[in-house]
Every structure is written in C-alpha cells, then in structure tokens.
Amino acid sequence: MTIEGRCLCGKVRYEVRGDLTRAGSCHCSMCRRSHGAAFGTYASVPDGGFHWLAGEDDVTVYKSSPAGGRAFCRRCGSTLGAVENGELRWITLGTVDGDPGIRPQANIFVASKAPWHEITDDLPQFDEYPPSE
Ligand SMILES: [Zn+2]
Ligand SMILES: [Zn+2]
C-alpha cells in the first residue's frame, strides 16, 4: 500500500510505498522531548520506499546521536521521522494521513518513561531496545 503524511503546517508532505513492517512507541527522554509528549510512535519504512512529496527544503534534521537524527519541519516543528546514517528509516505515525495499516507492536525504552504516564495497553514492554536488535 502507499501512505501519505504531512507536518502540522502542511508544507512538508511525504509518501511511503510498500507496507510498513514494524511499529512501536518509544518512551525515551529524547523522543518525549522531540514530540513534547509521553512517547513517540514510529513505523519502519521499507527499503527505498520513502519519498518527500513537497517541502523537502523545509526539512531540518536534528542530530540527536552520532548516527541518528530527527527530521522535522522548520516552519511548524512537527517531528516527521527518525534518520539513521543519513536515511529516513522511521516515520512518526502521528503525521500519517488516515490509517497507516499497522498498529504499534511494543513499548520500548520503558525504563525511562515519564513518571506521570501509565502504560495501559497490553503490548510487550522493553526497558530499552527489544533483544532482537
Ligand atoms: Zn510544517
Ligand atoms: Zn526514543
């Protein structure tokens, strides 16, 4: 399937061709700050499946770790995805238009979750990354 997403102001738009394969909510302090929320929910994009449709000039990548970064719209601040080694590998599910066809499969970095947030779903919880990574 093909899905589309956009930032809050609408200047930046993207599409993903092919099915999203994995999705999860990250409770680490960087994701919380980046989203201004209890957690960030991401889905992995298939190889070569991610494309900016509009507004790529307004996309800024904040380097939050040596190999990773967060792509956001410099006009409205929406966090659009996570970048690994210069490539956008994860989109934020909150910026998707309509149903992305995938549901979150796990809560990760639960050891650093916000003290004011209680996880109430039944998904597996991992203190950091799942063991398979
Ligand atoms: Zn924007
Ligand atoms: Zn995180």
8: left (phi over 0), alpha (psi -120 to 50) or beta: alpha
For residues 64-90, give the mean pLDDT: 95
Ligand nearest, relative to CA of residue 8? 1
Question: What's the pLDDT score for residue 46?
Answer: 95
Q: Using CB atoms within 10 A of its CB, is residue 19 exposed (0-12), middle (13-18) or buried (19+)? A: middle
**pLDDT at residue 13 greater than cutoff 80:** yes
Confidence band of 133 (pLDDT split at 50, 70, 90) = low
For residues 5-24, give the mean pLDDT: 97
The two three-digit tokens of residue 38, written as one number = 């209890």
Cα gap 128→108, rounded to integer Å: 6
CB-based neighbours (< 5 A) of ligand 1, an ion: 7, 9, 11, 73, 75-76
* Cα 129 to ligand 2 centre (Å): 9
**What are the pLDDT digits (tens) for 28-56?**
999 999 999 999 999 999 999 999 999 99
Question: What's the pLDDT score for residue 112?
Answer: 96
**pLDDT at residue 101 greater than cutoff 60:** yes
Question: What's the pLDDT score for residue 12?
Answer: 98
Question: What's the pLDDT score for residue 130?
Answer: 87
Percent of the chain with pLDDT over 70: 98
**pLDDT at residue 99 greater than cutoff 70:** yes
Architecture of the domain made up of 2-112:
Beta Complex (2.170)
Domain parsing of the chain, residue ranges: 2-112
